[in-house]
Structure 1
Amino acid sequence: MSPRSPAKPQPNPQQNHLLAALSPDVQSRLFPHLELVHLPLRALMYESGTSMSHVYFPTDSIVSLQYVMENGASTAILVVGNEGLLGITLFMGGESTPSRSVVQSAGYAYRLPRPQVKEEFNRHGQLLLLMLRYTQALITQVAQTAVCNRHHSIDQQLCRWLLLSMDRLSHNHLTMTQEFIGHMLGVRREGVTQAALKLQQLGVISYSRGLIKVIDRDQLEHLSCECYEVVKKETAILLTYLPQRQLIKNPEDIPVVVLKTQ
């Protein structure tokens, strides 16, 4: 995590939908304590068992929470983007987390120190309500991910992951390796490659030289298992502050995922 580069345009805290949903009074108390940080791809935010000093509110980045086994194998249990925050254990009574947090899509986030988080949470006001609702949405995502990883194909899991990622970005591209996606899904890189090629043959995506373009999002949702729809509906019910997803009408707005083979 490094300070923001001066050459980059400064993101706005209200690009994070949770921060934007807070009342002006709450924002006036919290915003002066926010610090903008750059989150490079694959940066380790938190390791399992380490103490957490901040919560992070992504603006245009995605963080993957992964459970790591003793043999080093890992699987993503949820993703966090501009819809919420990273670090719910700080206000749920814990100081650390059993999972590892890794940047899945590079970008920026605003971080808030632990004392300010707890002080505002203990007011039992708006932030408390929003965070509890967000926590419930995360619980749904974790539970559905567990079911999906056990009962659904790699093809369906890839569709679900692509949809969840696009829903949590303010831009239309991702850059990462096939190996990294395999780690998140708990499958071999070859399985990711085969699943992407199948989607291309069906006309859902174009796949060339490591570049994936989503051509037909409706078909992508159709090919995904019910797990994506369950998470999306529960999130919409609980997180009423989220904007409605816009339908893609301009071909230039088609979401892009860049997959590097190395």
Structure 2
Amino acid sequence: MLYEPGDPLTHVYFPLSGMVSLVAVMHDGRAVETMTIGREGVVATSASGYVDPAFTRFLVQVPGKAVRVTAQGFEDMVDASIGLCSAVSRYREVLLRTTLQIVACNAIHSVRQRCARWILTTHDRSGTDLLPLTQAELAEMLGVKRNAISITIRELVRLGVVKNTRSLLQVVNRADLNFIACECYSLVYGEQARLLTDGPSPECND
């Protein structure tokens, strides 16, 4: 656990491997994942650019390595560098667009489509075929009942796109998994690739 809601965001993390989940926690203890961040991004940089308390739980979902810098030090570097400011601004836009798309995905698409999308995204973020996840953890991340995930994983295993043991999920066929996933995976992946390779952001040119 990196942060719980309300904790001061003292450091910003740059994952080199593994994956961090941002999890919304309800008063009754129920929780659901709202975002995943891996080697493509940065953990605990706020959308506002200010060093704010954590709004969600920051949970290391897939173990890995990361480097970190103090949150205030990071914001000072962003203010001092047009290049870094541009990269961070575009990355924050990626986070916003991803969040909006996942809201729609959770409301419209089937558990099987969402599960395939989540596995593909986690595979991208973590850089490993072996994902140390239980079905209970996956159910919590997707905000669905454990039984629904059990049925879905059995079907994905039968189709030959993943292998599953008690606490390990292995990606074995990305191409077919991509075919099963909803359109949200390709849309978010495309926006990320486009925004993170575009030119400087206008607000950083002053």
TM-score scaled by length of structure 2: 0.89
Deviation per residue, 1:210-239 (Å, 9 max, x gap): 554333211111110111111101001011
Distance 1:211 1:114 in 2: 33
Q: Pick closer, same or farther for the CA change 1:170–1:209 going to 2, 3 Å.
A: closer
The DSSP-based 3-state class of the residue aligned with 1:122 is helix
Could you say which residue in structure 2 is the equivalent of 1:215?
Answer: 172
1:133 aligns with 2:90: yes
Q: Is the 8 A contact 1:54 1:112 kept in 2?
A: yes
State the structure with bigger RCO (CA 8 A, min sep 6), 1 or 2: 2
The alpha-carbon deviation at position 97 of structure 1 amounts to 2.7
Distance 2:167 2:134 in 1: 9
Distance 1:153 1:203 in 2: 19
Match of residue 144, structure 1, among 90, 94, 101: 101
Which aligned pairs between 1:112-191 and structure 2 lie closer than 5 A? 112-191=69-148
Distance 1:236 1:50 in 2: 32
Distance 2:172 2:64 in 1: 24
Q: Which amino acid aligns with 1:227?
A: C
The alpha-carbon deviation at position 201 of structure 1 amounts to 2.1
Deviation per residue, 1:66-98 (Å, 9 max, x gap): 111111111111100000100112861241131
The alpha-carbon deviation at position 147 of structure 1 amounts to 1.0
The DSSP-based 3-state class of the residue aligned with 2:73 is helix
The DSSP-based 3-state class of the residue aligned with 1:47 is coil
The alpha-carbon deviation at position 123 of structure 1 amounts to 1.1
The alpha-carbon deviation at position 135 of structure 1 amounts to 0.6
Could you say which residue in structure 1 is the equivalent of 2:55?
Answer: 98
Q: Pick closer, same or farther for the CA change 1:213–1:115 going to 2, 3 Å.
A: closer
1:79 aligns with 2:39: no
Distance 1:55 1:209 in 2: 33
Distance 2:74 2:48 in 1: 7
Could you say which residue in structure 2 is the equivalent of 1:238?
Answer: 195
Q: Matched residues, percent identical? A: 33
The alpha-carbon deviation at position 121 of structure 1 amounts to 1.3
Structure that is richer in strand per residue: 1
TM-score scaled by length of structure 1: 0.71
Distance 1:160 1:57 in 2: 23
Residue range with higher mean Cα deviation, 90-99 or 78-87: 90-99
Please, which runs of 5 or more residues in structure 1 have no aligned partner? 1-43, 242-262
The alpha-carbon deviation at position 179 of structure 1 amounts to 1.1
Q: Is the 8 A contact 2:132 2:167 kept in 1?
A: no
Could you say which residue in structure 1 is the equivalent of 2:46?
Answer: 89
Q: Is the 8 A contact 2:131 2:168 kept in 1?
A: no
Distance 1:226 1:173 in 2: 24
Could you say which residue in structure 1 is the equivalent of 2:201?
Answer: none
Moved runs in structure 1, 4+ residues, more than 3 A? 206-213
Could you say which residue in structure 1 is the equivalent of 2:202?
Answer: none
Q: Pick closer, same or farther for the CA change 1:211–1:68 going to 2, 3 Å.
A: closer
Distance 2:67 2:61 in 1: 16
Q: Is the 8 A contact 1:91 1:121 kept in 2?
A: no
